[in-house]
Amino acid sequence: MKKQTLTLTLLFTLSSTILSPFLTSCGNPKNQSANSTTDTSNSSTTTETEKVETVKIATTGGTRPWTYTDNDDTLIGYEIDLLKKIDEALPQYEFDFEISDFNSIFLGLDAGQYDIGVNYMTYKKEREEKYIFSDYVGYYPGNLIVRKGYDQIKHLEDLGGKSTYVSAASGGGAVQIFLDNYNNEHPDNPIELKYSEDDQWSKYQDLIAGKIDFLKGSPITFKLYADEHKDILDQVELAGLPEEEAAQIEDPYFFWLFPQTDRGREISNAVSEQLKLLKQDGTVASLSEKYFGQNLLAPEDRGE
């Protein structure tokens, strides 16, 4: 957001010089206070006209509805719209979005190439050791998806003896960690883990066929793919785990990441401050309803 530089005319300069002795001779404290306020205002304006810093933001643009491109290849999504609102409130910065693959987001943050990493980033201990987390961007607990009519999973304790798919690529993911921890805590009745590298919809077909009992999923799946995969989604449903139990599978909070540098802390503080204001004025609720069909404010911020 660029600000036009204000310039003083020669006439104003000459007038100020001529009138200065008369103005400074007035002893009214209120007048002096007013002059002081005017000077402060002018100083503030000058500060705002200093060079605007570009903030480089990296995202994959492929995680709908968090961040993705529309039919015109324009970057949109819940997180993108929210950042644009924040950009409008921070005249000292100009946000510049760049599409990158997921791993390169972290490499770019480490190298100082990017200032913010944006892509439905959930908490991980190893991330906290390297990056600054923003105030939470949204609260989105997932759930489990089962074939329609399957009522054997209502709580986490029901998962023992049931089967699901995992992939080699998800070894460090939150869901994989949950499954491994569950099995370590329930050695006599573990979850059966079957490895598959098939795409999401092939796994859903296996779920419907009874080859596995559940998959990790969320309500947004039904909203996003209701048309193109209606034949599949009509045959599955959410298991309906209580929200507090679903949150144990994967941290429901997601964030933006910043480098652990002085610049990173400065940008993070400014962004998080504005993010909190957008939660208070209803912007977060409005944008999350637009993209998710539900309010992504955490229960404590919804007054629950």
Domains and CATH numbers, the chain: 53-140+252-301 (3.40.190.10), 143-249 (3.40.190.10)
Q: How confident is the model at residue 18 (pLDDT cuts 50, 70, 90)?
A: very low
Nearest to 271 by CA among 117, 67, 62: 117
Q: Is residue 44 scored above 80 in pLDDT? A: no
Residue 62's beta-bridge partner residues? Answer: 68
The mean pLDDT of 90-116, rounded to a whole number, is 97
What percent of the chain shows pLDDT beyond 70? 82
Q: Evaluate the omega torsion of the peptide bond into residue 141 and state whether it is cis, within 30 degrees of 0.
A: no
CA distances from 268 to 55, 83, 275, 276 (A): 11, 12, 10, 12
- Per-residue pLDDT of 118-164, as tens digits, reads 999 988 888 999 999 999 999 988 899 999 999 999 999 999 999 99
Q: Is residue 5 scored above 80 in pLDDT? A: no
Choose between 117 and 227: higher pLDDT: 117
Angle (CA) 238-242-244 rounded to 5° is 130
What is the spatial distance between Cα 67 and Cα 126, in angstroms, rounded to a whole number?
A: 23
Q: Where are the alpha helices (DSSP H) in the chain?
A: 10-24, 29-48, 78-89, 102-111, 125-128, 174-185, 200-209, 219-224, 230-233, 243-249, 262-280, 283-292
Instruction: Out of 10-19, 36-45, 211-220, give the one with best mean pLDDT.
Output: 211-220
DSSP annotation of 144 reads E
What is the spatial distance between Cα 255 and Cα 253, in angstroms, rounded to a whole number?
A: 7
**Confidence (pLDDT) at 220:** 85
Q: Is residue 10 scored above 70 in pLDDT? A: no
Average pLDDT, the chain: 84
Q: Is residue 245 scored above 60 in pLDDT? A: yes
Exposure of 142 by Cβ count < 10 A (0-12 exposed, 13-18 middle, 19+ buried)? buried
